[in-house]
């Protein structure tokens, strides 16, 4: 599904050149739950952004479902991103003046989906994540764990093939962090591919495979459990 071949990423300004990623070779199959670990500044988020078509590599080739997407124009990148990826961030990124319902509905509005269909899907997702009783709350009326659950709901509402989660439990206590991991595991068991950046080895061990980065290089890969949901 996802194949990176000798991917490098260099950030340049007039004085400094910083190599964020160096010759990354990585394959992620449909149905996997992959964790990416490493110290701060090792390239984890840069790698996630390239996989999610937010950024492009400086060199190398990226194949998505067998198609090279390394140098495609921005409009096509946007279309591919909508059809394949959803993002969950550490900072939740909810819109403060929209209710829970409206935050979750927003991706469907952008897709110009009919109101009746949007209503049905939002109801289903809020029910599934036990958020229906919070539908009319605003983000600042929720706990951090509840806000992240809303972010998960918003991510899954458009039924993406891949969820890219960048430190999704980083701002949460252990109890709420475990709730988020459990939801990601359930989504993965239902067939969604998950790629998660985390500093927590305990949480990474809940995935199928752990990729360790250091100074922009993949240094180790380890398998924790078999993939059973192709």
pLDDT 10s digits, 164-215: 999 999 889 988 999 999 999 999 999 999 999 999 999 999 999 999 999 9
Residue 142, strand partner residues: none
pTM (2 d.p.): 0.92
Which are the contacts of 34, defined by CB distance < 8 A and separation ≥ 6?
28, 194, 195, 196, 207, 208, 209, 210, 211
What do you get for the CA distance between the two ends of the chain, in Å? 11
Query: Can you give the residue ranges of every domain in the chain?
Result: 2-223
* Tens of each residue's pLDDT in the chain, 230 residues: 999 999 999 998 878 899 999 999 999 999 999 999 999 999 999 999 999 999 999 999 999 999 999 989 989 998 899 879 999 998 899 999 999 999 999 999 988 899 999 999 999 999 999 999 999 999 999 999 999 999 999 999 999 999 999 999 988 998 899 999 999 999 999 999 999 999 999 999 999 999 999 999 999 999 887 665 54
User: Contact at 8 Å (CB) between 80 and 69?
Assistant: yes
User: Contact at 8 Å (CB) between 86 and 160?
Assistant: yes
**How would you list the strands of the sheet with 67-68, edge to edge?**
17-28, 2-12, 59-64, 67-68
**Pick from 35, 48, 64, 50: which is nearest to 220 by CA?**
35
Instruction: Provide the CATH number for the domain formed by 2-223 in this structure.
Output: 3.40.50.300
Relative to beta strand 59-64, strand 67-68 is: antiparallel
């Amino acid at each position: 599904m996802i194949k990176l071949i000798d991917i490098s990423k260099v950030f340049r300004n007039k004085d400094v050149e910083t190599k964020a990623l160096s010759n990354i070779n990585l394959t992620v199959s449909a149905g996997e739950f992959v964790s990416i670990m490493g110290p701060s500044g090792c390239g984890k988020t840069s790698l996630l952004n390239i996989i999610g078509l937010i950024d492009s590599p400086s060199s190398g080739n990226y194949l998505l479902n067998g198609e090279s997407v390394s140098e495609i124009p921005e409009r096509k990148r946007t279309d591919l991103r909508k059809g394949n990826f959803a993002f969950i961030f550490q900072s939740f990124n909810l819109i403060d003046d929209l209710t829970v319902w409206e935050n979750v509905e927003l991706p469907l509005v952008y897709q110009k989906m009919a109101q009746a269909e949007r209503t049905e899907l939002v109801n289903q997702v809020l029910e599934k994540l036990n958020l229906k009783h919070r539908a009319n709350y605003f983000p600042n009326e929720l706990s951090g764990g509840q806000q992240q659950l809303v972010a998960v709901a918003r991510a899954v509402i458009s039924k993406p093939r891949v969820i890219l989660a960048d430190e999704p439990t980083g701002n949460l206590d252990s109890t709420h962090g475990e709730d988020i991991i459990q939801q990601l595991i359930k989504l993965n068991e239902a067939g969604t591919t998950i790629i998660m950046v985390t500093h927590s080895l305990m949480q990474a061990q809940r995935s199928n495979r752990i990729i360790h980065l250091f100074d922009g290089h993949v240094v180790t890969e380890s398998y924790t459990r078999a993939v059973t949901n192709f």
